[in-house]
Amino acid sequence: MFETLKVMQASYGDRRIEDLFKMDATRADGFQAETGEMRLDYSKTNIDTATRSALIELCHRAHLPERSEAMFAGRRINATEGRAVLHTALRNLDGGPVMMDGADVMPGVLDTLARMRQFAERLRGDGAISDVVNIGIGGSDLGPAMAVRALSPYHDGPRCHFVSNVDGADIADCLAALDPGRTLVIVASKTFTTVETMTNARTARAWLIDGGGDPSRQFVALSSAAEKTAAFGIPGNQVFGFEDWVGGRYSVWGPIGLSLMIAIGPQAFDAFLRGGQAMDRHFRAAPMGENMPVMLALTGIWHHQVCGYGTRAVLPYDQRLAFLPPYLQQLEMESNGKSVALDGTLLDVPSGPVVWGAPGTNGQHAFYQLIHQGTDVVPCEFMIAAQGHEPDLAHHHHLLVANCLAQSKALMQGRSLDLAREKAADLGYQGAELECQARHRVFAGNRPSVTLVYPQLTPFVLGQIVALYEHRVFVEGVILGVNSFDQWGVELGKELASSLGPVVDGDQTVEGLDGSTAALVGFVHRHSRGG
Ligand code: F6P
């Protein structure tokens, strides 16, 4: 599938990105995509006009426009689960009907949104609740936790906390600081069966009752499983449902975003939705070469599937996007970490890459050493706002911007052996010692990066960023030919955890387990005292 591109890449040899700028003074403007006030710069990659055309040709061969319209039109493109993929309808605030199986889904979407607004307004207004605890995991946690952290300058509602891990430490630490009489517990689970979430929900209910709270008033459910939420004892008017065409990792736009709406208010939540909707419109309308999600996806395909770089770092120079890398890990790796194509045949190309990262500048003092001088090339995705939210601390922001730009520049230009020798000579080294010291100071450079710049991290811009990445994952999935909307790979671990539960409890013996697992269970039994 990528033969032409691989031949191109081989023909570039050790061509330097810097030389592409020397050959084309307009490169910075020619290799970027813009929408609204956001700009994606991919000029610091080894992609040239011919590469870009060949990459875009991949999209045509994979019928990207048709696949994309099939998604927006409510076709059941999640074939292994027989479901449509319509999270875009959740942010279709003024976009008209969205049909699925001949029926418009928008009245239901808008009705639930109106109920969420009403609930959030009341909660924010009456002051009885000081803290909200969202209990969920995966998509029922990562999206709202990321967005609540990202939009902290807009918080004017109750404090929001997130509990996800079944490790009792998570909920214990969270509840320790809270007043059971003034806490709202949101149980966020599409299926309402996820073991971690249900275990934490029962623990929170017991804590609330012990503390004199009233679970019938202080528990809310965000779920598609109405029967199960009722069985848990949550009254119907405190349940916010959504359909099976909203995948877990795509669900922050609807009821799963309730904690965000409570924190920042319905108006700001609307702005978040509108940002997502703006990106949808751009994605559907912009020609491929100017299409931000398409071009972001194609840089990903180029670096991973063609160049063979194994991982990709997401590096937001925005402390409030600290939870974006884990959010994107689920979005990208749960979506495109597949070995089988839609038609059931084995993939003959690498699936999606390992995605990782942390905010700058912190990462610079941790793992950037490897990015600059390690033997593996790590394509980087930098993100930076033109301005922060702290006008009195503008000098901090200027330093942040300077650092972000310095990193992508350093990765591209590197430092030659000659320059390193000059450095070593300046430091007083001579002869063989100078040569050795110089080699340690060489940076190969020519390491690719893309940079996303935006005016400020507002609710609207965050909506754009999240939808940008969703569509990027979609485009990569279409090119690879995988189903980006199922996640069978998490099943086996869940099944084995439930069968190992009684063994860890001591109700069943280790008989039949592999030697390693049996030995580890034995260690736990010998060293635990019920803790
Ligand atoms: O990890 C698998 C998964 O199904 C995710 O896709 C999902 O976001 C998460 O578990 C939580 O699921 P639920 O919302 O049903 O509790």
Catalytic positions, written as ranges? 334, 365, 494
Backbone φ, ψ for residue 429 (5° rounding): -80, 155
pLDDT tens, residue by residue, 65-112: 999 999 999 999 999 999 999 999 999 998 899 999 999 999 999 999
**DSSP state for residue 433 in the 8-state scheme:** H
Residues of the chain with CATH 1.10.1390: 491-528
**248 close to ligand 1 (CB < 6 Angstrom):** yes
User: H/E/C letters for each residue in 136-171?
Assistant: CCHHHCHHHHHHHHHCHHHCCCCEEEEECCCCHHHH
pLDDT value at position 238? 97
> Using a 6 Å cutoff on CB, does residue 490 contact ligand 1?
yes
Would you say the CB of residue 223 lies under 6 angstroms from ligand 1?
A: no
Q: Whose CA is nearest to atom 6 of ligand 1?
A: 248
DSSP string, 256-277: GGHHHHHHH-HHHHHHHHHHHH
pLDDT for 94 equals 87
Q: Whose CA is nearest to atom 9 of ligand 1?
A: 138
**Ligand 1 closest atom vs CA 142:** 8
What share of the chain has pLDDT > 70, as a percent?
Answer: 100
Write out the H or E segment, with its range, that includes residue 16.
none
Q: Backbone dihedral region of 35: left (phi > 0), alpha (psi from -120 to 50 degrees) or beta?
A: beta
Task: Convert the pLDDT of each residue in 288-306 to its tens digit.
Answer: 999 999 999 999 999 999 9
Ligand 1 midpoint to CA 163 (Å): 14
pLDDT of the residue at 200 = 98
pLDDT at 95: 83
Q: Which residue type occupies 62?
A: A
Count of C-beta atoms within a 10 Å radius of residue 98: 20
- What's the 426 CA to ligand 1 centre distance in angstroms? 57
Confidence at 531, pLDDT banded by 50, 70, 90: low
- Indicate whether residue 362 lines ligand 1 (CB < 6 A): no
Q: What are the helix (H) ranges across 416-529?
A: 417-426, 431-440, 459-480, 491-505, 515-527
Q: Which two tokens stand for residue 257?
A: 């975003």
Considering the chain, tell me which residue range(s) the CATH 3.40.50.10490 domain(s) occupy. Answer: 94-271
Average pLDDT, the chain: 97
Pocket of ligand 1 contains residue 139 by CB under 6 Å: yes
**Angstrom distances, CA of residue 318 to CA of 231, 361, 383, 424:** 42, 9, 7, 35
Compute the distance from residue 17 Cα to the ligand 1 centre, in Å: 41
Is the minimum distance from the CB of 251 to ligand 1 under 6 angstroms? no
CATH number of 94-271: 3.40.50.10490
- Which residue among 190, 256, 483 is best mutated to probe the pocket of ligand 1, counting the most ligand atoms within 8 A of its Cβ? 190
- Cα 69 to Cα 415: distance, rounded to the nearest angstrom: 47
Using alpha carbons, select from 45, 24, 68, 19 the residue that is nearest to residue 296.
45
Q: What is the pTM of this model?
A: 0.97
Q: Residue 125 contacts by C-beta under 8 Å, 6 or more apart in sequence?
A: none
pLDDT band at 530 (very low <50, low <70, confident <90, very high): low
Instruction: Report the DSSP beta bridge partners of residue 15.
Output: none
Contacts for 53 with CB less than 8 Å, ≥ 6 apart: none
Decide the pairing of beta strands 38-41 and 380-385.
unpaired
What's the rounded Cα separation, in Å, for the pair 188 and 261?
Answer: 14
Q: What are phi and psi of 266, to 5 degrees?
A: -60, -35
- CB of 138 sitting under 6 A from ligand 1: yes
What is the CATH class of 491-528?
A: mainly alpha
What tens digit of pLDDT does each residue of 115-146 get?
A: 999 999 999 999 999 999 999 999 999 999 99
pLDDT digits (tens, 9 = 90+) for 213-269: 999 999 999 999 999 999 999 999 999 999 999 999 999 999 999 999 999 999 999
Ligand 1 midpoint to CA 105 (Å)? 23
| Ligand 1 geometric centre to CA of 184 (Å) | 22
Residue 1 binned pLDDT confidence (cut-offs 50, 70, 90): confident
Q: Residue 103 has what DSSP assignment?
A: E
Testing ligand 1's pocket by substitution, the residue of 135, 163, 194, 331 carrying the most ligand atoms inside 8 A of its CB is 194
Q: Give residue-wise pLDDT tens across range 149-193.
A: 999 999 999 999 999 999 999 999 999 999 999 999 999 999 999
Ligand 1, closest atom to CA 196?
16
Closest CA to 184 of 213, 164, 144, 226: 213
